[in-house]
Chains A and B, each alone.
Chain A
């Protein structure tokens, strides 16, 4: 299925989107559209394959090598498909001090996959990532684009259960400090 999809240029039927993205940048900065275009492909296909790299190179007018060079520089573009739910455990200091190592171990046990793996049916992918900017609300698990912060053991179990159901639950309110609306006033 996926093989067949790649034969059709991704942006062939998305002229409007393409115009919008290219229109964001000045004419002399056409190359700036490279990253947004990669994002579009990745959101739709959960990875960016060689054919897409060539297509994007054609659109922004550079050699595909340049696109590959840029794409591989950033850690959130994937050249292999990730699962439907891409679980990213932040493992940098603040999260680690809030128990992200245990959280990761729990997920490994629960899902049967380790860092960088996708399970057999392409449902879950697990990845240890570096700081995602949720230090005051650690530990955090990023599922696709959504943050699940202050992820306690019970919340984690609930989350995995609903992901198994195929549902991405609403993230709960978790801030603290002045970021908490009332927090500041109470001090």
Chain B
């Protein structure tokens, strides 16, 4: 389509909105209500422009010509048009510079501002506010409104995490539309009408995992992130574009820090991964970084007491102890959200010490690299049949949103030179959802089941039997008649079918194999959901033990004499404490005091995930850059730093002693230049496992408690006060029958030994929990799956508060 914008001729695709045509031509139109990934509604009327098009004569079918020029005559629309809701037409002429357009823009700014409080000096959005910018660029600077402005509540807490200033709201409806269109949880709406309209919600808080995004998309300071309220002004923050290490999605993040402290986290833009959305766990779960009890200096145990030391002293101390040991007597374990560079360092250190045992944890029993036909998140968003096994809303929440994209059936927009289209006219308010394409299986009722055409709650631990049956074309036990046949037909008949499976399947090699067999049978792509940010990368680059019996933490029980762990807490498991105490050297590299630091010989201060530089591989195999935000972590170092210090103490120059040296090694194995990685990342092909045995022969399907994934990192929950206030303490979800059986009631705080770890939780009685299998959030040291809990030892710590 040929379109002329202010004299600039453009060739555009059919269906493009006029606003994108204007931007594509290099001109600007102001807008408030449009948002890149949501439906255009034309409510703010800011983007008005003069639009005209030639007409064809009805009778002859020829263009009506201008008598003077002989060219097709342009018929202008009688009114100015909202460009965000107008589609381009052949030969269209758009004018955004004429006087009447400027006048309309002036008056819309004036109208928008008459009820806006103009308290920019105290507004957290000040300096990064769309209204501020637009008022400056397109307003007259004067107001003729002389009456009292509308007075409404200034700080309505929508939830513990989001504060709403109703006076500042300009009714663009982005937040209301967001909830309906993106996560599908309609928890926010306009109340009243006309000049009295305000945003409101009924009941407590906002029950959704994706509430924080509305603070990003609010064009004014009406919706604010409570964790960062009044913490600083926008121009004072150091913005770091990085990648989320909170889950395996690899979502783009912007970490805003000021004077060495993380003040807030906003979502970044990565069109193929998270678009511009992140979940609440990622957004609000950063406060622990600045916790007062963070370990900021190395500590060495002298005379039974941990005493502060320099890095050099600590490294010397470790080196001396290590000298007397054989390589195979030293174990090294990293948490699975360590970067690739840290992994390289750990491998090099292990190699240096001899036949070192190196591993990352949590690592599922089944490999994440199995199954050649892998789905990317874009594949998922364009799938026309999806089978979900597990609970992606909690495991990798972005997967949940991409599934909901697929339900809408609108493909990802093509990018313009100015980026994502501002108004994608294919998106509509209240689009019908193709729920029939989604099937959800889980051992308990999950949130995603609400959006699924068919769903089934199976018995926990039955994954292997279910998929063995499906693989051989049989009906699994306990399923409704015809369920399997229908599922198989749907997946096999689809153009693009994707099977998403989570930790419950990965916990068993058998289940995983059976599922992959079923996927091959129906020709579906697969997407496993790893437990942590770099699980895929660490497996891909071979941060793995050389033999299955060296797997962490089982290796602790063998001939091991020294153990170096990074961000893990092996001593939480009471069954291991005895053995750990017998070690000649226990080094723990961590952020906070825990059971392991109590018995460790050396405690090294660790950097948080926001302070590290490096790269990770997300669940779809995309290598993404992680950049450090300027956070004051004292003397803390990442594992690369540990390797460097130990190398110095040992007198060795090890691979992975710095980012550069690690990247030299990675360049060889991945054939990628990690220094010049684009922000959007690069998809890497999955190769066969680099080396070693990753398969753990753990038996699945036993146990009486199901550890379930959670978007919240429960290990840090107590240090994230806002998140804690919003979501409460770690819940132990019980079926009412089980609650009766154990004699506990809703709201009781209990302690319970779960697989050797004493877990503290608050009882939540819900009919959604399966009978006989209570649900408890998993931890990095206790990944998802069935475990044995000792319910005889369940103790009530605090009784439920009486309901007033």
Determine direct contact between A and B, CB below 8 Å.
Answer: yes
Contacts of B58 in A (CB 8 A): none
In the bound complex, how far is the Cα of B426 from the Cα of A161, in angstroms? 61
Check A53–B186 contact: CB distance below 8 A: no
User: Mask for A42-84, Cβ within 8 A of B = 1, else 0?
Assistant: 0000000010011001000011111111001100000000000
Check B186–A62 contact: CB distance below 8 A: yes
Given known contacts A50-B202, A53-B202, is B186 in contact with A65 (CB within 8 Å)? yes
Chain B residues numbered 160-191 whose CB sits less than 8 Å from any CB in chain A: 185-191
Give chain B nearest CB distance to A57 CB in angstroms. Answer: 8
Give chain B nearest CB distance to A121 CB in angstroms. Answer: 29
Check B202–A67 contact: CB distance below 8 A: yes
User: Mask for B200-217, Cβ within 8 A of A = 1, else 0?
Assistant: 111100000000000000
* Interface flag for B302 (CB, 8 Å): no
* Interface flag for B578 (CB, 8 Å): no
Name which residue of chain B comes closest to A74, CB basis: B193
Check B200–A68 contact: CB distance below 8 A: yes
Name which residue of chain A comes closest to B191, CB basis: A72
Chain B residues numbered 274-328 whose CB sits less than 8 Å from any CB in chain A: none
Name which residue of chain A comes closest to B189, CB basis: A69
Contacts of B203 in A (CB 8 A): 54, 64-65
Check B202–A65 contact: CB distance below 8 A: yes
Contacts of A69 in B (CB 8 A): 189-191, 200
* Interface flag for B192 (CB, 8 Å): yes
Give chain A nearest CB distance to B434 CB in angstroms. Answer: 13
Name which residue of chain B comes closest to A50, CB basis: B202
In the bound complex, how far is the Cα of B190 from the Cα of A53, in angstroms? 15
Q: Which of A50, A57, A62, A68 sits near B191, CB closer than 8 Å?
A: A68
In the bound complex, how far is the Cα of B201 from the Cα of A50, in angstroms? 12
Name which residue of chain B comes closest to A61, CB basis: B450
Q: Is the interface of A mostly helix, strand, loop or mixed?
A: helix
Contacts of A72 in B (CB 8 A): 191-193
In the bound complex, how far is the Cα of B193 from the Cα of A59, in angstroms? 24
Contacts of B185 in A (CB 8 A): 63
Could you say which of B188, B200, B202, B203 has the most chain A C-beta atoms within 10 Å of its C-beta?
Answer: B202
In the bound complex, how far is the Cα of B187 from the Cα of A65, in angstroms? 6
Given known contacts A69-B191, A72-B191, is B186 in contact with A64 (CB within 8 Å)? no
Q: How many residues of B contact A (CB 8 A)?
A: 13
Check B193–A65 contact: CB distance below 8 A: no
Could you say which of A57, A62, A65, A73 has the most chain B C-beta atoms within 10 Å of its C-beta?
Answer: A65
Could you say which of B186, B201, B203 has the most chain A C-beta atoms within 10 Å of its C-beta?
Answer: B203
Contacts of A65 in B (CB 8 A): 186-189, 200-203
Contacts of B201 in A (CB 8 A): 65
In the bound complex, how far is the Cα of B190 from the Cα of A68, in angstroms? 9
Chain A residues numbered 15-55 whose CB sits less than 8 Å from any CB in chain B: 50, 53-54
Give chain B nearest CB distance to A74 CB in angstroms. Answer: 8
Give chain A nearest CB distance to B646 CB in angstroms. Answer: 55
Contacts of A68 in B (CB 8 A): 189, 191, 200, 202
Name which residue of chain A comes closest to B207, CB basis: A63
Name which residue of chain B comes closest to A73, CB basis: B193
In the bound complex, how far is the Cα of B187 from the Cα of A72, in angstroms? 16
In the bound complex, how far is the Cα of B191 from the Cα of A38, in angstroms? 16
Name which residue of chain A comes closest to B198, CB basis: A72
Q: Which of B186, B192, B193 sits near A66, CB closer than 8 Å?
A: B186
Could you say which of A53, A57, A63, A73 has the most chain B C-beta atoms within 10 Å of its C-beta?
Answer: A63
Give chain A nearest CB distance to B183 CB in angstroms. Answer: 12
Give chain B nearest CB distance to A99 CB in angstroms. Answer: 27
Check A63–B186 contact: CB distance below 8 A: yes
In the bound complex, how far is the Cα of B193 from the Cα of A62, in angstroms? 20
Q: Which of B187, B191, B192 sits near A63, CB closer than 8 Å?
A: B187
Name which residue of chain B comes closest to A62, CB basis: B186
Chain B residues numbered 214-256 whose CB sits less than 8 Å from any CB in chain A: none
Check B186–A73 contact: CB distance below 8 A: no
Q: A63-B186, A69-B190 are in contact. List 19 more A-B contacts (CB 8 A).
A: A50-B202, A54-B202, A62-B186, A63-B185, A63-B187, A64-B203, A65-B186, A65-B189, A65-B200, A65-B201, A65-B203, A68-B189, A68-B191, A68-B200, A68-B202, A69-B200, A72-B191, A72-B192, A72-B193
Residues on A lying within 8 angstroms of B by beta carbon are 50, 53-54, 57, 62-69, 72-73
Q: What are 25 sample pairs from A and B whose C-beta atoms fall under 8 A apart?
A: A50-B202, A53-B202, A54-B203, A63-B185, A63-B186, A63-B187, A64-B202, A64-B203, A65-B186, A65-B187, A65-B188, A65-B189, A65-B200, A65-B202, A65-B203, A66-B186, A68-B189, A68-B191, A68-B200, A69-B189, A69-B190, A69-B191, A72-B191, A72-B192, A73-B193
